[in-house]
């Protein structure tokens, strides 16, 4: 009896193993955002006198007005700070999409505060994504109506905003 149960369990496990690794969709949606001035000073490092008091991302396509979008503050190997944006803003399916190749866009306000006062400077960032059966990835980033990033296969998604 135990043998039949074990045999049944093995048949169940092997029949549920799913797709092979080659058939899985690759996800590449992490965006590293560096913010520097024209001299190359890291404006996210609060040790620099020119740095921003805070930088916030707001979803312009949210159901409610300007919902905050999570971006974690990180430090790279050189000690430079950056924001790591993974997901959170709504993705809007674009009209030029097909069943085989869907294009999505996230519309994000980037808000900069120079002190703890209410003074806020705001820019606009659009992130475009490609979605195919093989890959879901960032395709390009437009910042204040200028394309600042175009995906290069195998390379990380890194942008530098110059303020």
Tens-place pLDDT, residues 49-94: 889 999 999 999 998 888 999 999 999 999 999 999 999 999 999 9
CB-CB contact of 42 with 50 (8 Å):
no
Residue 6 has pLDDT above 70, yes or no: no
Percentage of residues in the chain having pLDDT higher than 90: 78
Rounded distance, CA 62 to CA 112, Å? 20
Terminal Cα distance for the chain, rounded: 73
Residue 160 has pLDDT above 90, yes or no: yes
Residue 1 has pLDDT above 70, yes or no: no
What's the confidence (pLDDT) of residue 21?
A: 55
Rounded distance, CA 144 to CA 36, Å? 16
Give the domain ranges of the chain: 25-162
* Residue 119: pLDDT band with limits 50, 70, 90: confident
DSSP string, the chain: -HHHHHHHHHHHHHHT--S-GGGSPEEE--EEEEEE-TT--BTT-TTSTTS-SEEEEEETTSSSTTEEE--EEEE-TTS-EEEEE-S-S--EEPTT--SSSEEEEEEEEEEEESSSSS-EEEEEEEEEEEE-SSEEEEEEEEETTEEEEE--TTS-EEEEEE-
What's the confidence (pLDDT) of residue 115?
A: 79
Which residue carries 């990380």 as its tokens?
A: 156
- Average model confidence (pLDDT) across the chain: 88
């Amino acid at each position: 009896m135990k043998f039949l149960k074990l045999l049944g369990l093995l048949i169940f496990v092997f029949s549920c193993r799913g797709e092979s690794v080659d058939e899985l969709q690759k996800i590449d949606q992490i965006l590293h955002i560096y913010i520097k001035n024209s001299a190359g000073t890291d404006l996210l490092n609060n040790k620099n006198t020119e740095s921003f008091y805070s930088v916030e991302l707001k979803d312009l396509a949210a159901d409610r007005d300007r919902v905050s979008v999570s971006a974690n503050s990180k430090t790279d190997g050189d000690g430079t700070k950056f924001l790591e944006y993974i997901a959170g803003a709504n993705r809007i399916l674009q009209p030029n999409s097909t069943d085989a190749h869907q294009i999505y866009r996230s519309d994000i306000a980037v808000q900069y505060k120079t002190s703890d006062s209410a003074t806020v400077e705001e820019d606009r960032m659009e992130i475009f994504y490609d979605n195919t059966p093989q890959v879901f990835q960032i395709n390009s980033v437009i910042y204040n109506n200028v394309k600042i990033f175009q995906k290069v296969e195998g390379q990380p998604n890194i942008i530098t905003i110059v303020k």
